[in-house]
């Protein structure tokens, strides 16, 4: 039986949930106030090279921030459907991010690189059959690794490109996302998925739209569009297209060797 709660209780529950920081204050504000909140489904849209995978890798590093600094001291699961992930890039990002955090401690300790690498769980889910089989086993994986507080799917589009009709894809994908959202709420996990852009002619807003159709846009709590800054190609722009708890905002960030960072202002 459904339980009735007051808006006060609901507000307290929502505001008490921690977030995964992006290491860019500007980008954090796009997702809310402190980054990617637990219990939410988040979609990253963008053309190749816009920074989707880089942001996912940064979040997998940020999830390890020690609790003494307000972090989650948790683990991440990276579901790679398109072989975008590289361990070398994650190592650079997690070591750079944790070193930056440890400098804030009164007695900073040296980062244990191997321990940091072990806290990221990776699975190659290339192909529709492999992806669906793993998604079916996902609840068991989370029960076994209960410190996982972030699940990345990079990308959600790729497994469904071939070998399945549009109608079959919609039904299968929506069932999987319903189970994923249920898991996110029950276990207090942040879900981040990357999506590609596709061409659709005849739209007043332009021909490039997110893949998987219009109905898919309703499945996620937040949709963020990443793109290059036309004034400086080394910088990136994040535009909030949809949010359930924050206004549509624009953030700017850059990708460094150590991960995602704010753009330094010139004085």
Q: Taking the CB of residue 140, how many other CB atoms lie within 10 A of it?
A: 9
Residue 207 has pLDDT above 70, yes or no: no
Is pLDDT above 80 for 44?
yes
Cα 142 to chain centroid, rounded: 17
Helices and strands: H and E segment counts in the chain: 7, 13
Domains of the chain, residue spans: 19-262
pLDDT at 214: 66
Range 229-247 average pLDDT? 85
Q: Which of 190, 216, 240, 219 is nearest to 40 (CA)?
A: 190
| CATH architecture of structural domain 19-262 | 3-Layer(aba) Sandwich (3.40)
According to the model, what pLDDT value does residue 267 have? 43
Closest C-alpha among 28, 43, 44, 34 to residue 14: 34
Among 33-42, 46-55, 242-251, the range scoring the smallest mean pLDDT is: 242-251
| Residue whose structure tokens are 């972090």 | 71
Locate 172 and state its tokens: 């299968």
- For the ranges 16-20, 54-58, 240-244, 249-253, the one whose mean pLDDT is highest: 54-58
Distances (CA, A) of 71 to 173, 255, 264: 32, 21, 24
Return the residue matching tokens 């549509």: 248
Using the predicted structure, report yes or no on whether residue 175 has a pLDDT greater than 80.
yes
């Amino acid at each position: 039986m459904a339980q009735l709660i007051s808006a006060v209780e609901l507000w307290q529950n929502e505001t008490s949930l921690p977030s995964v920081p992006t290491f860019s204050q500007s980008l954090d504000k796009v997702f809310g106030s402190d980054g990617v909140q637990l219990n939410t489904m988040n979609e990253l849209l963008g053309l190749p090279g816009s920074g989707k995978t880089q942001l996912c890798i940064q979040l997998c590093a940020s999830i390890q921030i020690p609790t003494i600094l307000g972090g989650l001291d948790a683990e991440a699961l990276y579901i790679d459907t398109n072989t975008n992930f590289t361990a070398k890039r994650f190592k650079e990002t997690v070591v750079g991010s944790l070193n930056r955090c440890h400098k804030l401690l009164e007695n900073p300790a040296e980062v244990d690189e191997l321990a940091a690498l072990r806290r990221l769980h990776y699975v190659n889910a290339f192909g529709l059959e492999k992806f669906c089989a793993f998604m079916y086993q996902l609840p068991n994986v989370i029960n076994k690794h209960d410190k996982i507080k972030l699940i990345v799917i990079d990308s959600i589009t790729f497994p469904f490109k071939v070998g399945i009709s549009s109608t079959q894809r919609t039904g299968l994908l929506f069932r999987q996302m319903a189970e994923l959202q249920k898991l996110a709420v029950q276990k207090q996990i942040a879900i981040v998925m990357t999506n590609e852009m596709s061409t659709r002619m005849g739209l007043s807003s332009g021909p490039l739209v997110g893949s998987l159709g219009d109905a898919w846009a309703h499945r996620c709590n937040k949709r963020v569009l990443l793109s290059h800054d036309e004034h400086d190609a080394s910088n990136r722009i994040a535009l909030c297209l949809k949010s359930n708890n924050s206004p549509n905002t624009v953030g700017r960030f850059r990708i460094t060797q150590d991960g995602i960072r704010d753009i330094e202002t010139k004085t």
